[in-house]
């Protein structure tokens, strides 16, 4: 397992609180339509999609939902590393799509994790044609079956720009999150993402502003501030935080960053 699972390592951190708020906000945003399949993407590589997806999956599992986290980045997914589960060229999402029949034994592909209520479907074989596989009728049948089994399904997707994989998956999602990196996402990239969603006739439910405060250093060496551990040498400022913005992206242009962070709880759609 990697050290990405902050919500369990530091349940009282501000980060954990923010992730739980995202969980709540997503439920509010989909109060009429129902929330089952949540897609998470970002403009470019390395914005923190997998990190956010993993922690959000845990947050739903902690809320007693039966959760499946699907690694949809068939090119370079890393959820198996985050959760320390096996990923073989014989058993994973790509293989399951290819082999899926109504009587397929799902447990040969879906992995249990160390956490209650949370299963992960790792990528499996790296196919030469991810777009065709994701767009296949078999994938549709598979996702329909999985929706009958799980309360929440999180699709950890590849980036939007330059790849059509994610837009194909919007056909199956109830909520679409766009993770942006406060450090590097440019306004123009967000505008482009908005255009891609509009082309696919898919709505952006909200934006997660990922504020990686590790200042270029790997956070693995840092550890995190915990409320319990007063002796910690880590400062509060070192803890990564996230905010969730209802469809505001592209409306503000500030320092070349897509959106400014704001108080998480005040931006739930229709909550006023
Ligand atoms: N808020 C954060 N605080 C600390 N580290 C972070 C944060 N967000 C992301 N990271 C780290 O940055 C790296 C890239 O994150 P991640 O793999 O989640 O991005 P991604 O958008 O899924 O990338 P890819 O497009 O390659 O799939 C990882 O090592 C992750 O642990
Ligand atoms: Mg990723």
Nearest CA to ligand 1 atom 23: 46
3-state SS class at 152: strand
Question: What pairs with residue 257 in β-bridges?
Answer: 186, 254
Beta carbons within 10 angstroms of residue 186's beta carbon: 16
State which residues have CB under 5 angstroms from ligand 2, the bound ion: 49-50
- Residue 221 pLDDT exceeds 80: no
> Which of 50, 157, 163, 220 to mutate to test ligand 1, by most ligand atoms within 8 A of the CB atom?
50
Provide the token pair at 202. Answer: 């898919």
Residue in this structure with the two tokens 């799902």, named with its chain if needed: 106
pLDDT at 242: 57
φ/ψ of 237, rounded to 5, equals -65, -20
| pTM for the predicted model, two decimal places | 0.84
pLDDT at 28: 82
Looking from the CA of residue 3, the nearest atom of ligand 1 is 31
149 found inside a domain: yes
Q: Which ligand neighbours the alpha carbon of 161 most closely?
A: 1
φ/ψ of 246, rounded to 5, equals -65, 155
pLDDT at 188: 82
The Å distance, Cα 153 to ligand 2 centre, comes to 16
pLDDT tens-digit series, residues 180-216: 887 778 878 888 998 999 999 998 888 888 876 554 4
Looking from the CA of residue 211, the nearest atom of ligand 1 is 1
The Å distance, Cα 270 to ligand 2 centre, comes to 30
116 found inside a domain: yes
How many domains does the chain contain in total?
1
Q: How confident is the model at residue 86 (pLDDT cuts 50, 70, 90)?
A: very high
Beta strand 175-181 with 37-41 is parallel
- C-alpha of 169 from chain center: 13
Residue 195 domain boundaries: 6-267
Least confident of 24-28, 232-236, 241-245, 258-262: 258-262
115 found inside a domain: yes
Residue in this structure with the two tokens 């919007």, named with its chain if needed: 170
62 found inside a domain: yes
Quote the CA–CA distance of 146 and 138 in Å, as a whole number: 12
> In the 8-state DSSP scheme, what is residue 157?
P
Cβ atoms of 129 and 97 closer than 8 Å: no
Looking from the CA of residue 210, the nearest atom of ligand 1 is 1
272 found inside a domain: no
Cβ atoms of 242 and 19 closer than 8 Å: yes
Determine if ligand 1 sits within 6 Å of the CB of residue 48. yes
Query: Is the model more confident about 180 or about 127?
Result: 127
Q: What is the CATH classification number for the domain harbouring 240? A: 3.40.50.300
Work out the burial of residue 142: count CB atoms within 10 Å of its CB; fewer than 13 is exposed, 13-18 middle, 19 or more buried.
buried
Question: What pairs with residue 243 in β-bridges?
Answer: 209
Q: How confident is the model at residue 113 (pLDDT cuts 50, 70, 90)?
A: very high
The Å distance, Cα 70 to ligand 2 centre, comes to 11
Q: In what order do the strands lie in the sheet with 152-156?
A: 111-112, 118-121, 67-71, 152-156, 37-41, 175-181, 206-211, 241-246
Nearest CA to ligand 1 atom 10: 48
Q: CB within 8 A of 263, min separation 6: which ones?
A: 243
- C-alpha of 213 from chain center: 19
10 found inside a domain: yes
The Å distance, Cα 52 to ligand 2 centre, comes to 9
Quote the CA–CA distance of 52 and 7 in Å, as a whole number: 10
> Which of 40, 48, 163 to mutate to test ligand 1, by most ligand atoms within 8 A of the CB atom?
48
1 found inside a domain: no
180 found inside a domain: yes
Provide the token pair at 82. Answer: 């985050």
Report CA torsion sign: 105, 140, 55, 215: positive
Mean pLDDT of 84-112: 95
3-state SS class at 145: helix
């Amino acid at each position: 397992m990697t050290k990405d699972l902050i919500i369990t390592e530091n349940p009282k951190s501000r980060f954990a609180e923010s992730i739980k708020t995202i969980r709540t906000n997503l439920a509010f945003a989909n109060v009429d339509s129902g929330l089952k399949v949540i897609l998470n993407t970002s403009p470019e590589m390395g914005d923190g999609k997998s990190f956010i997806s993993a922690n959000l999956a845990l947050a739903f599992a902690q809320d007693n939902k039966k959760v499946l986290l699907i690694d949809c980045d068939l090119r370079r997914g890393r959820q198996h590393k985050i959760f320390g589960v096996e990923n073989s060229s014989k058993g994973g999402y790509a293989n399951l799509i290819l082999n899926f029949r109504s009587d397929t034994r799902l447990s040969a592909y879906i992995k249990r994790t160390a956490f209650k209520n949370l299963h992960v479907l790792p990528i499996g074989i790296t196919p030469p044609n991810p777009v065709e596989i994701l767009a296949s009728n078999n994938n549709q049948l598979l996702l329909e079956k999985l929706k009958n089994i799980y309360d929440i399904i999180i699709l950890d997707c590849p980036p939007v720009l330059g790849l059509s994989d994610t837009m194909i998956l919007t056909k199956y999602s109830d909520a679409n999150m766009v993770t942006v990196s406060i450090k590097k996402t440019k306004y123009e990239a967000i505008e482009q993402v908005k255009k891609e969603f509009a082309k696919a006739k898919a709505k952006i439910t909200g934006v997660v502003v990922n504020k990686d405060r590790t200042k270029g250093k790997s956070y693995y060496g840092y550890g995190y501030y915990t409320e319990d551990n007063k002796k910690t040498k880590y400062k509060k400022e070192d803890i990564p935080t996230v905010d969730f913005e209802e469809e505001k992206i592209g409306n503000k242009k500030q320092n070349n960053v897509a959106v400014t962070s704001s108080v998480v709880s005040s931006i739930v759609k229709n909550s006023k």
